[in-house]
Amino acid sequence: MNFRNSLGILAIAVTLAPLPANAVQNYVAMPLGGLGGSTSYGVGLNAIGQTTGGSFTAGDAAVHAFRHSGAAMVDLGTL
């Protein structure tokens, strides 16, 4: 490899070196609670952080849908 080729490769390497790597997304799992029963599960997550899912009601009598907005869980009833 001659000097001119080495200089070209060095110029490309120096130019590309400061480019940032792709941003890594970080996720955090957090308990949502439930509607009084023994089991709840998440199904969806939207762009503003609301989650949806299902949960058994007290005494595991029925499964109701829910929406959780970060602070409170809303019982959507049976769907």
Give domain limits for the chain.
Answer: 3-77
What pTM was computed for the model? 0.62
Q: What angle do CA 11, 13, 19 make, to 5 degrees?
A: 115
Alpha carbons within 13 angstroms on the beta-carbon side of residue 62 total 8
C-alpha closest to that of 49 among 66, 71, 64: 71
Tens-digit pLDDT string for the chain (79 aa): 555 555 666 666 656 666 566 667 777 888 888 899 999 999 998 989 899 999 999 999 999 999 998 888 899 998 7
